[in-house]
A and B are shown apart, each in its own frame.
Chain A
Amino acid sequence: MVQYSTRLDSSFAALSDATRRGILERLGRGSASISDLAESFEMTLTGIKKHVRVLEDSRLVTTEKVGRVRTCSLGPRRLEDEQAWIAKYQRMLEERYDHLERFLRRTQRQERTDP
């Protein structure tokens, strides 16, 4: 639980910015160069580079420079978070149904004892 929270928290900080979320969405559809991204988001190269660096630091994005072009793709972190989220969701769902069961038992008992 704590492990998930720490991992998720640091990546949420990177995700707190609308442009960075947009970059992830864009890269979800396929890799793109820094200048592609600058054009899509109507930002300067320097501005986009800053955002990409934050995403790269939290392993949400990886970049590779070939010649003069730096290409950005989704990093491994995003997948880890997806996996963590799915496992967490399933646990929550199971716990929720456990509590529903207890609630129904309680309610039924009350109904039986009420006049």
Chain B
Amino acid sequence: MSASLKDATRKATVTTHGDREIRIERVFDAPRALVWQAFTDPKLVAQWWGRGNKLVVERLELERGGHWRFVEHSPDGVHGFEGRFREITPPERLVMTFEWDGMPGYVIIENVVFEEVGKDRTRIVNLSQFYSTDERDGMLASGMEEGLNQSYAALDRLLATLP
């Protein structure tokens, strides 16, 4: 693989898509069937979803309307995340709701698309849509900008450390 292609694999694209959407695009050096499995097989999910923390997959009902619930044991405490599946189209698309126990009622819709890039690579396009207080949109957007810029800076630093 050429150096430039290798760089492209690792590059993450993060863009805000309107005021209430976060879009992340990444290409992984793995075939689509494996990436799909990493999202849908509880044993595999437990190995990465917790970001290095212990993760208990309490539920992963892979069907429309099915309930998923993961509990992450991180240094700052135990955090439960859960939601329902809205669409499951193997191995192309997963749509689910996402809620954190700490922010009950703040439902995010996650839309994850798996695309083949050649035979051995996979592009994931993750679109997360937030519902937020309507009449305060303007204020929310202006506050978000700062938070997002901080996140971009952190991401840049992270990418710089990758070989």
Q: Which residue of B lies closest to A80 (CB)?
A: B143
Interface hits, B61-83 → A, CB 8 Å: 76
Check A74 for interface membership: any CB of B closer than 8 A.
Answer: yes
Q: Is the interface of B mostly helix, strand, loop or mixed?
A: mixed
Complex Cα–Cα for A83 and B128 (A): 15
Q: Mark A93-105, 1 if CB is under 8 A from B, else 0.
A: 1111111111111
Complex Cα–Cα for A68 and B14 (A): 51
Q: Is the CB of B151 within 8 A of A90?
A: yes
Instruction: For A96, list chain B residues within 8 Å (CB).
Output: 48-49, 51
Known contacts A93-B24, A94-B154; 12 additional CB pairs below 8 A are A5-B76, A79-B133, A82-B106, A86-B22, A86-B147, A91-B154, A96-B48, A96-B51, A100-B38, A101-B26, A103-B38, A103-B47
Interface size class of B (residues with CB under 8 A): 35 or more
Q: Mark B44-61, 1 if CB is under 8 A from A, else 0.
A: 100111111000000000
Q: Is the CB of B155 within 8 A of A99?
A: no
Complex Cα–Cα for A19 and B49 (A): 34
Complex Cα–Cα for A80 and B107 (A): 17
Instruction: For A92, list chain B residues within 8 Å (CB).
Output: 51
Q: Is the CB of A107 within 8 A of B30?
A: yes
Check B88 for interface membership: any CB of A closer than 8 A.
Answer: no
A residues whose Cβ falls under 8 Å from a Cβ of B: 1-2, 5, 8, 12, 15, 21, 25, 28, 74, 78-87, 89-105, 107-108
Q: Which residue of B lies closest to A92 (CB)?
A: B51
Q: Which residue, of B35, B51, B155, has the highest number of chain A Cβ atoms within 10 A? A: B51
A107 to chain B, nearest CB (A): 7
Contact of A1 among B38, B44, B76 (CB under 8 A): B76
Complex Cα–Cα for A21 and B104 (A): 10
Complex Cα–Cα for A5 and B124 (A): 30
Instruction: For B44, list chain A residues within 8 Å (CB).
Output: 103
Check B29 for interface membership: any CB of A closer than 8 A.
Answer: yes
Complex Cα–Cα for A95 and B48 (A): 10
7 contacts between A and B (CB under 8 A): A87-B147, A90-B151, A93-B24, A94-B14, A99-B48, A101-B26, A104-B34
Instruction: For A86, list chain B residues within 8 Å (CB).
Output: 22, 130, 132, 144, 147
Interface hits, B33-47 → A, CB 8 Å: 34-35, 38, 44, 47
Complex Cα–Cα for A91 and B158 (A): 12
Instruction: For B47, list chain A residues within 8 Å (CB).
Output: 103
